[in-house]
């Protein structure tokens, strides 16, 4: 029964034979996969393997060949990688939110849902702070709040925890999982951390210009696939101990 | 009929204190330059802002040689420079500072060589005492257009500074907005050449905005203060220069410098 339900889940993204070329340089080729509503799809691969380019193709920001088909009427929100905001940039958190949402109540409620719960603190400190003065973890929460404020259906995160220490990383992923469970988001995320992939993703694509593996993390991320992905000497594969602490 | 027209014009000239004309044009250009300057700083284009006015000189020289209004010569040269900067910006995504520095200095050198001697000094240092009613109307019209256009694009412009990809993913046409913005910069610089001249117009774009940044956390305060400081610099500079019989251009820029020093005391 469950299996049948799963199979009937609505497909919201179909990608067929996707290729991207920059100046005759093949950056991606032959990618085919699909995403269903409520999926968490992780994209893994070494640096320069085309993961970020894949996101930009999905957002129609770079020219591509092949087919990318989103279900009609979907709202997609994207948080790009390397969000290094200049400390000197005169832009307050409040102003950053107002570019997307004028209603202060909605801003406060979005901040609450990413775990910044003290309303006094939000109004008198967080919102008045310069965006560039936030710590890495705080900034990431703000960006997540920003990305969900207009109730998107799909979230695209490029390395959501880059530049955050290990403890903070775990917190951010728990937050994403909580938001997904509460609101039924579909999440596509690029991650370098395979532990995170095992723990949070129900599907994974390994990309190194072309598709090296695709499927459930437990069944496709075997030593052979990882060796193909990261080169011969990748010493990492699934930890045998449980992550359910 | 023609005689009547002339006498009306003379009446206007007589009843209008020329210092009021200067103040009106100066303050409007100061406001516009300060405001646009704040976005130049936001886009980390301080150097470009500072030296872009140098490019205008060959344009002014050619306009003088072919007896066209120097404003259009200056604007044409600035427009070409803006297209060049924009092209570098979208094609390379690299800081274009070195190239800009070299290219702009060369234009200035060529400009100095080919500008007819009698007009050279005025082109280099400006002379706001020589403005006429046509300049006043043109300034008012273009400043209104500038603020209206900025009102339309400031959101996209700022988001593209925060993250170009984020802005693009929200459907913002980053390169179009960037081009429009640079075009406005070309307009304000061409307008301001009468006020401060080639050498100092860049300072009127950058210094008030740099001062505003010292004492602002957020964007709204930063951009408004930048405009205000630009306006105050022009107002104070023209009045001071008029009172002591000095050249207004340098005094305007020095006034903005004093404001900058004062804001350093309260730096955030």
A41-88 pLDDT, tens digit per residue, is 999 988 888 898 999 999 999 999 999 999 998 999 998 876 678 888
* Same domain (yes/no): A33, A113: no
Residues in chain B with CB shorter than 8 Å from the CB of A131 are 162
Q: Report H helices in chain A.
A: 2-8, 51-58, 93-98, 104-113, 119-121, 136-148, 166-183, 194-200, 217-220, 223-230
Share of chain B above pLDDT 70, in %: 92
CATH number at residue A226: 3.40.50.300
* Residue among B44, B169, B220 whose CB faces A95 most closely: B220
* Residue among B155, B158, B217 whose CB faces A128 most closely: B217
* Same domain (yes/no): A89, A146: yes
Q: Assess if residue A171 is contained within a domain.
A: yes
A19 pLDDT more than 80: yes
C-beta separation of A92 from A129 below 8 A: yes
Query: Is A90's CB within 8 Å of B216's CB?
Result: yes
Q: Assess if residue A163 is contained within a domain.
A: yes
The span from the CA of B233 to the CA of B210, in Å, is 13
Place of tokens 């060796």: A227
B8 pLDDT more than 60: no
Which of A127, A152, A177 is a domain's end point? A152
Q: What is the mean pLDDT of chain B?
A: 88
CA proximity to B36, closest of B197, B223, B252: B223
Q: Assess if residue A217 is contained within a domain.
A: yes
Query: Is A92's CB within 8 Å of B162's CB?
Result: no
The per-residue pLDDT for range B54-65, each reduced to its tens digit, is 999 999 999 988
* Same domain (yes/no): A100, A168: no
Which of A95, A130, A152 is a domain's end point? A152
Domains of chain B with bracketed CATH: 26-264 (1.10.3470.10)
Residue ranges of chain A whose CB lies within 8 Å of a chain B CB: 56, 59, 61, 76, 78-80, 83, 85-86, 88-92, 94-96, 99-100, 128-131
Place of tokens 């010493």: A235
* Same domain (yes/no): A52, A148: no
The per-residue pLDDT for A3 is: 45
The per-residue pLDDT for range B257-267, each reduced to its tens digit, is 999 999 999 98
Total structural domains in chain A? 2
Total CB pairs under 8 A between chain A and B: 53
C-beta separation of A94 from B220 below 8 A: no
Choose from A239-243, B5-9, B140-144 the range with maximum mean pLDDT: B140-144
Residues in chain B with CB shorter than 8 Å from the CB of A59 are 168-169
Which domain range does residue A93 map to? 84-152
* Same domain (yes/no): A175, A68: yes
Q: Quote the minimal CA–CA distance from A130 to chain B in Å.
A: 6
Per-residue burial over A165-186, b if 16 or more Cβ lie within 10 Å, else e, is eeebbbbbbebbeebbeeeebb
Confidence of residue B18 (pLDDT cuts 50, 70, 90): confident
A241 pLDDT more than 70: no
B15 pLDDT more than 50: no
Q: Quote the minimal CA–CA distance from B97 to chain A in Å.
A: 18
The per-residue pLDDT for B93 is: 63
Q: Assess if residue A4 is contained within a domain.
A: no
C-beta separation of B197 from B122 below 8 A: yes
Query: Is B165's CB within 8 Å of A78's CB?
Result: yes
Residues in chain B with CB shorter than 8 Å from the CB of A92 are 217-219
The tokens describing B202, both together, are: 């860049």
* Same domain (yes/no): A58, A92: no
Q: What is the mean pLDDT of chain A?
A: 84
* Same domain (yes/no): A161, A172: yes
- The nearest alpha carbon in chain A to B153 belongs to A99
Residues in chain A with CB shorter than 8 Å from the CB of B165 are 56, 61, 78, 80
The per-residue pLDDT for B96 is: 63
The per-residue pLDDT for range A161-203, each reduced to its tens digit, is 776 776 777 778 888 888 888 888 999 999 877 888 888 899 9
Q: Quote the minimal CA–CA distance from A51 to chain B in Å.
A: 14
Contacts of residue B89, defined as CB under 8 A and 6 or more positions apart, other chains included, come to: B96, B175, B178
The per-residue pLDDT for range A197-236, each reduced to its tens digit, is 888 899 999 998 888 889 898 888 877 778 878 875 444 5
The span from the CA of B150 to the CA of A93, in Å, is 21
The per-residue pLDDT for range B91-140, each reduced to its tens digit, is 776 656 777 778 888 888 999 999 888 888 888 888 888 888 888 999 99
* Same domain (yes/no): A134, A170: no
Contacts of residue A126, defined as CB under 8 A and 6 or more positions apart, other chains included, come to: A93, A111, A116, A138, A142
The per-residue pLDDT for range A78-124, each reduced to its tens digit, is 988 766 788 889 999 999 999 999 999 999 989 988 888 888 888 88
CA proximity to A206, closest of A196, A194, A195: A194
- The nearest alpha carbon in chain A to B217 belongs to A90
Q: Assess if residue A2 is contained within a domain.
A: no
Share of chain A above pLDDT 70, in %: 88
The per-residue pLDDT for B135 is: 87
* Same domain (yes/no): A120, A237: no
- Report the range of poorest mean pLDDT among B12-21, B101-110, B158-167: B12-21
Q: In what order do the strands lie in the sheet with A210-215?
A: A65-70, A11-22, A25-36, A210-215, A203-208, A40-44, A186-190, A154-158, A76-79
Which of A105, A120, A152 is a domain's end point? A152
Query: Is A91's CB within 8 Å of B158's CB?
Result: yes
Q: Assess if residue A160 is contained within a domain.
A: yes
pTM of the model: 0.85
Distance from chain centroid for Cα B78: 11
Q: In 10 A of CB A24, how many CB atoms? A: 5
Query: Is A91's CB within 8 Å of B162's CB?
Result: yes
Give the per-residue SS3 of B159-180. HHHHCHHHHHHCCCCHHHHHHH
* Same domain (yes/no): A63, A104: no
- Look up the ipTM and state it: 0.83
Place of tokens 């104070």: B236
Q: Assess if residue A79 is contained within a domain.
A: no
Q: Report H helices in chain B.
A: 2-15, 18-42, 46-51, 56-65, 70-92, 97-114, 117-125, 133-162, 164-169, 174-214, 219-244, 248-264
Candidates B163, B210, B216, partner chain A, best to mutate (most A CBs within 10 A): B163
* Residue among A88, A95, A99 whose CB faces B218 most closely: A95
B245 pLDDT more than 80: yes
* Same domain (yes/no): A148, A162: no
The span from the CA of B174 to the CA of B181, in Å, is 11
* Same domain (yes/no): A176, A144: no
Q: Quote the minimal CA–CA distance from B218 to chain A in Å.
A: 4
Q: Assess if residue A3 is contained within a domain.
A: no
């Amino acid at each position: 029964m469950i299996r049948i339900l799963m199979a009937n889940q609505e497909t919201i993204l179909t990608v067929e034979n996707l290729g991207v070329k920059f100046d005759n340089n093949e950056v991606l080729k032959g990618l085919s996969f699909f995403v269903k509503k409520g999926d968490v799809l992780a994209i893994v691969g070494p640096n320069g393997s085309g993961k970020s380019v894949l996101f930009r193709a999905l957002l129609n920001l770079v020219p591509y060949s092949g087919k990318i088909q989103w279900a009609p009427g979907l709202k997609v929100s994207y948080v790009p990688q390397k969000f290094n905001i200049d400390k000197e940039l005169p832009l307050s958190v409040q102003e950053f939110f107002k570019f997307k949402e004028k209603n202060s109540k909605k801003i406060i409620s979005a901040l609450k849902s990413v775990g910044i719960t003290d309303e006094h603190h939000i109004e008198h400190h967080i919102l008045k702070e310069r965006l560039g003065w936030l710590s890495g973890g705080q900034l990431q929460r703000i960006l997540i709040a920003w990305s969900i404020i207009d109730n998107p259906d799909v979230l695209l995160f490029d390395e959501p925890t880059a530049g955050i220490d290990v403890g903070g990383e775990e917190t951010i992923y728990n937050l994403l999982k909580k938001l997904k469970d509460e609101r039924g988001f579909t999440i596509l995320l690029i991650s370098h951390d395979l532990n995170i992939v095992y723990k949070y993703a129900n599907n994974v694509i390994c990309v190194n210009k072309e598709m090296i593996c695709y499927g459930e993390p437990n069944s496709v991320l075997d030593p052979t696939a990882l060796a193909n992905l990261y080169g011969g000497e990748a010493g990492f594969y699934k930890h045998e101990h449980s992550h359910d602490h | 009929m023609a005689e009547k027209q002339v006498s009306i014009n003379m009446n206007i000239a007589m009843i209008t204190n020329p210092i009021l004309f200067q103040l009106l044009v100066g303050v409007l250009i100061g406001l516009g330059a300060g405001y646009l300057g704040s976005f130049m700083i936001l886009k980390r284009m301080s150097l470009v802002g500072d030296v872009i006015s140098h490019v205008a000189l060959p344009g002014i020289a050619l306009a003088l040689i072919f007896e066209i209004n120097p404003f259009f010569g200056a604007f044409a040269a600035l427009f070409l420079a803006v297209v060049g900067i924009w092209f570098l910006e979208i094609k390379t995504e690299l800081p274009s500072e070195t190239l800009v520095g070299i290219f702009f200095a060369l234009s200035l050198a060529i400009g100095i060589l080919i500008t007819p001697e009698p007009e050279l000094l005025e082109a280099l240092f400006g002379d706001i005492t020589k403005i006429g009613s046509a300049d006043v109307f043109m300034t008012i019209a273009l400043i209104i257009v500038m603020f209206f256009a900025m009102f339309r694009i400031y959101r996209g412009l700022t988001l593209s500074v925060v993250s170009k990809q984020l802005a693009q993913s929200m459907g913002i046409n980053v390169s179009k907005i960037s081009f429009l913005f640079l075009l406005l910069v070309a307009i304000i610089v061409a307008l301001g050449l009468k006020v401060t001249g080639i050498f100092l117009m860049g300072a009127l774009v950058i210094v008030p905005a740099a001062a505003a940044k010292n004492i602002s956390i957020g964007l709204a305060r930063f951009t408004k203060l930048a405009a205000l400081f630009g306006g105050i610099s022009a107002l104070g500079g023209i009045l001071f220069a008029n009172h002591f019989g000095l050249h207004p251009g340098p005094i305007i820029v020095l006034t903005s410098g004093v404001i900058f020093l004062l804001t350093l005391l309260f730096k955030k």
